[in-house]
Structure 1
Amino acid sequence: MTDLQQNYAHVYNNSVGFGRYPCLILIDFAQAYFDPDCPLYAEVDSALASALRLRKTAQTANIPIVLTKMTYDVAGVTGGRFFEKAKPLEAFLPGRATGEFAKGLVPQPTEIVVEKQYPSAFFGTSLASTLICLGCDSVLLTGLTTSGCVRASCVDAMSHGFRTIVVADACGDRHDAPHQANLFDMKAKYADVVSEAAALEHLATLVTRG
């Protein structure tokens, strides 16, 4: 056991478990992260592949699926200080191919698309009230990036009272260090962090139950 694990052991090691009726959320899987010419490019193909596998099982389980998308006006004014601080967000200005969903991720008619301007999928959007209306008690989070929009959405999901599950294999970042550090911290304080296999196993029980 490492010093870090010893420091957190028996302090931040609680598990909240899966809920009864979850929503699968795919956060910001945009072409920007898959275009080598874009400043936001990251090696996150495996995260998208994992999220797509989860999505397929979630469709079979007939649970809500949400796709989030960064959307700004032509000048980025709607992004406020976030747009001012993070210059690579220009990739999401209108008309930029980098702002479109990643290849292989086409929104389906039954899926909910949430357009957002800030890191959290919940901030300034109707997502929380929509999930409450649908009867969801929990969320399964996937997406990009782990240290940014996934983490922000995780904290807000928990703050809104949803059991929050982060699927580690279906999240990605520019570098493994912030990816691992944020998974560790989310698991400690805000969410359960699970593997794709564990999430698929849970979704399979919903299919059987349904």
Structure 2
Amino acid sequence: MPAVASPIAADQALLARNLAALAASSPLAAEAILAADPTAGVEIVPAQEPGEHSGRLDGVWLASPRAPGAEARRLAEQADPTRIGAVVVLGFGIGRHVRAIVERCRGEALVVVYEPDAALLRAVFERVDHSSWIAGSGLVILTDPGDDAATAASLRGSEGMLALGVTVIEHPPSRARLGETAGRFVETFGRVLAATRTTVVTTLVQSEATCRNFL
């Protein structure tokens, strides 16, 4: 394997730009990232694929060092926005696969990412410019696997999309790192989703009754 390129240095202006883009749709995550100390074990480096980045955490690659863009697009193929209304992604990594999923969904499906490591997110956001694709995407990042209230609040206004169905995509390099918390988050999301669907059905029934009364 060719030698790994020199790590990219942290850039606080870049962090601010990324957080400004994220805060519009995930203010709690943006606050958690800003409050976190960047983890010392992260290295973000230019990938062999032109214009792409890769990275590793404590020596474990978070994306392909050769072709992270191609790898991300293959993972994103699991999402079919013509058949579902939301995608849950387990693990942010360096974010390249999340970008690919957001671009594939093109606003037709909500993208929700579970990433409990705010320090990792900060280290990535200090080194990789994600602001252009996050801005206006509606991306939701959740950091607590068991917070029903925060999960429900972050999904408010997206009830119609959630009612269309949800696909869960696991980021393979994040599997061991997330451990059992990934399953806990999926359970939490499932509870919130069930409550959301009940609310949607109730609203539709009430709307039908209102229409009948109006007529």
Q: Does TM, normalized by the shorter one, top 0.5?
A: no
Q: Which has the higher contact order (CA 8 A, sep 6+)?
A: 1
The structure with the larger Rg is 2
Q: TM-score, normalised by structure 1?
A: 0.35
